[in-house]
Amino acid sequence: MRKLISIILLGMVATGLFMSISQIPFGEPGERIGDHFINQGVNETGATNIVAAVVVSYRGFDTLGEVSVLFTAAMGLGAVIGLVRRKKTHTPIEPASLIVYTGCRFLFPVILLVGTYIVIHGHLTPGGGFQGGAVIASAFLLMYLGCRGKRIRENLSRGLESLGGLLFILLGVTGLVIGRDFLFSFLPEGEAGNLISAGIIPLIYMAVGLKVGSELTGIIDHLIEDTDELPE
């Protein structure tokens, strides 16, 4: 009986979703806002990467929100995992093999460089603060795997995280201070395609990259700790 009801309900939802989706024209031009972004995006924001133009310029407030969502998640994880008492006796760490160790040391700066490149060129090529930040954090993950026993300084990563967030907010508030809107692009757009162009988009992406990179590194650091039984 219960299964029958579930199946009927599922069928109803599926039919509804299908009828709703079948109304949506796929791949056809004529969506007012989408078209505007594609045709006018480069002119209005100076960013050749339209995704960056939408994410940072047109819908920059959402990005501030998303950065805060990640910040909340990292803080929440820290608060919940921090509850668990650290083990007094650490199990001895088995060192990584020579190949892994050497490989990590070789790749670490290269990955950092690639991540930074992706962040800085976010307004020109695919990528941006979130993606670059994730790449940077992956370099630290590799270091944890290869050079076991080395740890990042938690205070430093949390400080950078804060700085990134504050920088984003300060860039936004500057728009208000000069008498325009929050997150208004107060720098000249420059020539599209140049590294220094697109107003405040690269600056915001750097703030986001800093924040996301240090935040994800912090999350990895938290998850890697030895954990003990929950206190009653």
Partner 1 sequence: MVNPVLFIVVPLGLAFAIPLLKYISKKIIRFVPALAFLFNLIFALRLIPVVMDHQVHVQIGGFIPPLGINLVAGPVGMLFVVLIALVGFLVSIYAFHPIKEKDEDRYHILYMLQLTGATGVVLTGDIFNLFVFFEILCLASYSLVAYLGNRAGIESAVKYLIQGSLGSGLILIGIGLLYGQFGTLNMADIAGRIHSVQSISVYVPLVLFITGFGVEAALFPLNAWLPDAHSSAPSTISAVLSGIAIEVGLYAVLRVVFTLFGITHMMGLFLLLGVLTLLIGELCAFSQDNIKRMLAFSSIGQIGLLVFAFSLASTLGIAGGFFQLISHTLGKALLFLAAGYMIAHTGSMEIASFQGMGKRMPFTSLAFTIGAFSMVGLPPFMGFPGKFMILKAALHDGQMLTLILLVFILIATVIEGAYFFRVVQVLYFAGEDLPDRERAPVAFSRFVPMFLFTGLIIVLGIYPSLITDLLDASALELLDRPDFIKSIIP
Interface residues with partner 1 (CB under 8 A)?
A: 16-17, 19-24, 31-34, 36-37, 44, 57-62, 64-66, 68-69, 71-73, 75-80, 82-84, 155, 158-159, 161-163, 165-166, 169, 172-173, 175-176, 180-185, 230-232
User: Nearer to partner 1 by C-beta: 48 or 162?
Assistant: 162
Question: Least distance (Å) from partner 1 to the CB of residue 159?
Answer: 6
Is 13 or 110 the residue whose CB approaches partner 1 more closely?
A: 13
Instruction: Please report how many Cα atoms fall inside a 13 Å half-sphere around the Cα of residue 37, on the Cβ side.
Output: 15
Phi-psi region of 66 (alpha: psi -120 to 50; beta: other; left: phi over 0): alpha
* Encoded tokens for 71: 């910040």
Task: Let me know: does 193 contact 45? Beta carbons within 8 Å.
Answer: no
Report yes or no: 151 and 145 within 8 Å, Cβ to Cβ: no
Nearer to partner 1, 76 or 149 (CB): 76
CB within 8 A of 71, min separation 6: which ones?
161, 165, 211, 215
d(CA 99, CA 111): 17
Q: Whose Cβ is closer to partner 1: residue 116's or residue 162's?
A: 162
Residue 147, CA atoms < 13 Å, CB-side half-sphere: 13
Q: What's the min distance (Å) between Cβ of 106 and partner 1?
A: 33
Residue 47 is given by DSSP the state -
Closest CB 204 distance from partner 1, rounded Å:
11
16/95 with CB nearer partner 1? 16
Tokens of 187: 């720098």
Cα–Cα distances in angstroms (integers) from residue 123 to residues 33, 58, 199, in the given order: 20, 13, 10
**Judged by CB, which is closer to partner 1: 70, or 137?**
70
CA-wise closest residue to 119 among 195, 218, 28, 186: 195
